Amino acid sequence: MWFGLLPLPWWGYILVVLGLTHVTIAAVTLYLHRHQAHRALDLHPLVAHFFRFWLWLTTGMVTAEWVAVHRKHHARCETEEDPHSPQVLGLRRVLLEGAELYRGATADPSIVAEFAHGTPDDWVERNVYRRFNFLGVTLMAVIDVALFGALGISIWAVQMLWIPFWAAGVINGVGHALGYRNFEPADASTNLVPWGAVIGGEELHNNHHAFPSSARFALRPWEFDLGWCYIRALQALGLARVKRVAPSARIQDKPEADLETVRSLVRARVHVMAFYARDVLLPTWRAERANADRGCRRLLRRARRALVRDPALVDESAQARLEQALAQSARLETVYRYKLALQQLWVRAPRSHEALLQQLRQWCAEAEATGIQTLEDFARRLRGFTVVQPAAA
């Protein structure tokens, strides 16, 4: 058996596969996703072109096409126009046919025309990477076989399957179906695990959908984003510049909401709704469940998810269970109604911040008069809601 120019022990081949595929993961999350699609950071031209070249070798993906499909996913998330929503197409199809869905989306030139603005369009992109995208993966196969002999074919096959499985399948599929949620954006995104290492931080998908333009995906003290570690290392070497990271929320002591409160609320409303679920909805739900009879406790348990989810994500059966639960508890019905009213402040936002301020003050005044302690406390704290933008550097 021919072992190629670089014979290795069996564990050496495993390390090679993990190393090569991880460079591809880094290229996707740093270059395609955070740098190109969302403009969350700038990369030095040499770093950016290395990633572009590596992706040409290992995936054959065209930057403009990937960016366009991803931006459309955010713009049309969980609708019929979403290129890969498991809520619409089913988890099994997105998980197993993610690459096919991606290719189907890139076949539509209007997607690139609408969503790919700002992506590379230089000579090498037009005449090599885009025109001969199949040539890179062919060259990679030749290199693998030359270096590793017959096993190089298997190494190349794993490289070709790595991104279709992890990115197109797991992140686009499982990342919109299973996992935990820190925030409740109007989509079904989830964090798969709190440590984003295997896929370079992309595991923290709910955090990303809550703050798409943030270069850092880890937003809780216990979360870890390996891609952010790479960004910080590149930044220390002068090879990257972070432009935006997600703001953090703070509560100040204020007697009345002001324009700063309004600006903060509009900018970080997912923080507001996360606080509302944590401090009002769930404590009220737990108190009502503790005092309910057996049948009502079961009903409340089944309605918990719909209670905190964005109404657009609640299907008919879950909505029916929620309505049954709310009919059994006047206090729960009240705090849920105030949740919807709070969301309407930005869903139907008036033209001026001054008008929105008046609506916010009215919401707070009415919430404080409900006689529900958790809601009253939240309304008082909401007056001082503000966001702190961490330094990008």
Residues 260-274 have pLDDT tens digits of 999 898 889 999 999
DSSP string, 127-160: IIITTTHHHHHHHHHHHHHHHHTTHHHHHHHHHH
What three-state secondary structure class fits 198?
coil
User: Please, are residues 238 and 264 in contact by the beta-carbon 8 Å criterion?
Assistant: no
Q: What is the mean pLDDT of residues 217-234?
A: 97
Query: Residue 128: its pLDDT value, please?
Result: 96
Residues 304-343 have pLDDT tens digits of 999 999 888 899 999 999 999 999 999 999 999 999 999 9
Sorting pLDDT into bands at 50, 70 and 90, what band is 392? low
Ranges of beta strands (E only) in the chain are 41-43, 195-196, 224-225, 240-242, 248-251, 385-388
Sorting pLDDT into bands at 50, 70 and 90, what band is 17? very high
pTM of the model: 0.93
Q: Give the residue, 282 or 345, on which the prediction is more confident.
A: 282
- Degrees to nearest 5, angle at CA 20 with 17 and 176: 90
User: Please, are residues 184 and 277 in contact by the beta-carbon 8 Å criterion?
Assistant: yes
- The amino acid at residue 176 is H
CA–CA dist 299, 373 (Å, integer): 24
User: Please, are residues 283 and 374 in contact by the beta-carbon 8 Å criterion?
Assistant: yes
- pLDDT at residue 213 above 80? yes
Residues 127-167 have pLDDT tens digits of 999 999 999 999 999 999 999 999 999 999 999 999 999 99
Query: Residue 349: its pLDDT value, please?
Result: 60
